[in-house]
């Protein structure tokens, strides 16, 4: 396994594996035995960066979520896992009542919610401190200042370490970080957005969250990452939920003239290296110019093994140039 540093403050920064494991469906769609087997193999391979959220997976049973965090808590206790494993979680998108969703009834990002939701996450995970805590989705009902101060308060009291943000418009990320900096408070250092080798269109509803913010890391977000070297992008859905091997799963916002060209070069590089297309996508992210940590969810140990092999796949400069240039 290889590692990179996330965060800049010596008090909160962490060394994490260059491949993160998504636990979104653990404890719901993926049963406990399989989930534990995947987690065990990931740690055995040197992985130490696991991602979840307080609302995973509310849609599986019409509830409010929490199954993933609860399973990770049981796994930690049964394996004697300590703070050597970095578990990232998110708050803000947990439905306020069963049978609703983050679209019409989210908990939001008020100071009260931040404190109470973080406490519940710590209880479910069985940890004293949340290693990395994200603001999951935008909340336009609450002033950004309140959200910034709410997260910073958790860091000050030692119940949260690194702070992150996902699925926010880039300008709101910058504004929140500027507010934090002006007040001498810790701000967002890790960004989590959907990102893969294939590029989505951004002019169709499927590319947007209900509030109009982008879930994908577009040119503006990537440009921001390039301009702010202290930031790290955690790229979720890097393998597009299996679409690289199952074209019928390709989301509608990827159906445009640029997709076939990028798929063709991926297949060429896969053939040249003897790797799978999925491995080429992950290796392209891991070894690229920008600090990107792919976050891949799996439902079997076999899928995990394929992903783990991407860590050691070295692409040549010429192969990277072709992968970057295809459009």
Bigger pLDDT: 216 or 285?
285
Percentage of residues in the chain having pLDDT higher than 70: 96
d(CA 287, CA 285): 6
Give Cα separations from 280 to 78, 110, 244, 295 (angstroms).
35, 41, 11, 15
Tokens of 299: 């439902």
Average pLDDT over all residues of the chain: 95
288: phi then psi, degrees, rounded to nearest 5: -80, 180
d(CA 183, CA 202): 34
56: phi then psi, degrees, rounded to nearest 5: -85, 130
Task: List the beta strands (DSSP E) in the chain.
Answer: 3-6, 14-17, 20-22, 49-51, 86-91, 130-135, 160-166, 190-194, 232-236, 292-297
Count of alpha carbons within 13 angstroms of residue 305, beta-carbon side: 4
Instruction: Indicate the helix (H) or strand (E) that contains 304.
Output: helix 301-309
d(CA 205, CA 51): 26
> What residues have CB less than 8 Å from 17, skipping those under 6 apart?
1, 2, 3, 46, 47, 48, 49, 311
pLDDT digits (tens, 9 = 90+) for 90-106: 999 999 999 998 888 99
pLDDT of residue 204: 61
pLDDT of residue 147: 98
Cα separation of the two ends of the chain:
32
d(CA 140, CA 151): 16
Chain centroid, CA 168 distance in Å? 13
pLDDT of residue 251: 87
3.10.129.10, 3.40.50.1820, 3.40.190.10, 3.20.20.100: which CATH number matches 3-254+279-316?
3.20.20.100
pLDDT digits (tens, 9 = 90+) for 168-192: 999 999 999 999 999 999 999 999 9
pLDDT digits (tens, 9 = 90+) for 9-55: 999 999 999 999 999 999 999 999 999 999 999 999 999 999 999 99
51: phi then psi, degrees, rounded to nearest 5: -120, 135
Percentage of residues in the chain having pLDDT higher than 90: 90
- Band of pLDDT at residue 253, cut at 50, 70 and 90: confident
pLDDT of residue 252: 86
Sequence ranges of the domains in the chain: 3-254+279-316
């Amino acid at each position: 396994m290889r590692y990179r540093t996330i965060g800049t403050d010596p008090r909160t920064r962490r060394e994490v594996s260059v491949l993160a494991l998504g636990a979104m469906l653990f404890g719901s769609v993926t049963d406990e035995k399989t989930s534990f087997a995947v987690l065990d193999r990931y740690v055995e391979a040197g992985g130490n960066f696991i991602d979840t959220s307080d609302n995973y997976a509310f849609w599986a049973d019409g509830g409010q979520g929490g199954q993933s965090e609860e399973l990770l808590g049981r796994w930690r206790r049964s394996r004697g896992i300590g703070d050597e494993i970095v578990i990232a979680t998110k708050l803000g998108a947990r439905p306020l009542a069963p049978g609703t969703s983050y679209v019409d009834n989210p908990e939001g990002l008020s100071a009260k919610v931040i404190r109470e939701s973080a406490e519940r996450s710590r209880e479910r995970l069985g940890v004293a401190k949340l290693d990395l805590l994200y603001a999951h989705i935008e909340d336009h009902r609450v002033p950004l200042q309140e959200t910034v101060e709410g997260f910073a308060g958790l860091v000050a009291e030692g119940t949260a370490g690194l702070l992150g943000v996902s699925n926010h418009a880039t300008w709101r990320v910058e504004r929140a970080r500027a507010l934090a900096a002006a007040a001498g408070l810790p701000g967002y250092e890790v960004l989590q957005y959907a990102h893969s080798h294939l590029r989505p269109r951004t002019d169709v509803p499927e590319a947007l969250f209900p509030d109009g913010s982008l879930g994908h890391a577009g040119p503006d977000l990537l440009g921001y990452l390039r301009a702010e070297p202290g930031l790290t992008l955690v790229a979720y859905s890097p393998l597009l939920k299996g679409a690289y091997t199952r074209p019928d799963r390709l989301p509608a916002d990827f159906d445009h003239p640029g997709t076939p060209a990028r798929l063709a070069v991926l297949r060429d590089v896969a053939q040249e290296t003897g790797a799978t297309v999925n491995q080429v996508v992950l290796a392209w992210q891991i070894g690229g110019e920008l600090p990107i940590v792919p976050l891949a969810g799996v439902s079997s140990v076999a899928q995990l093994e394929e992903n783990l092999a991407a860590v050691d796949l070295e692409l040549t400069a010429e192969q990277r140039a072709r992968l970057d240039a295809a459009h």
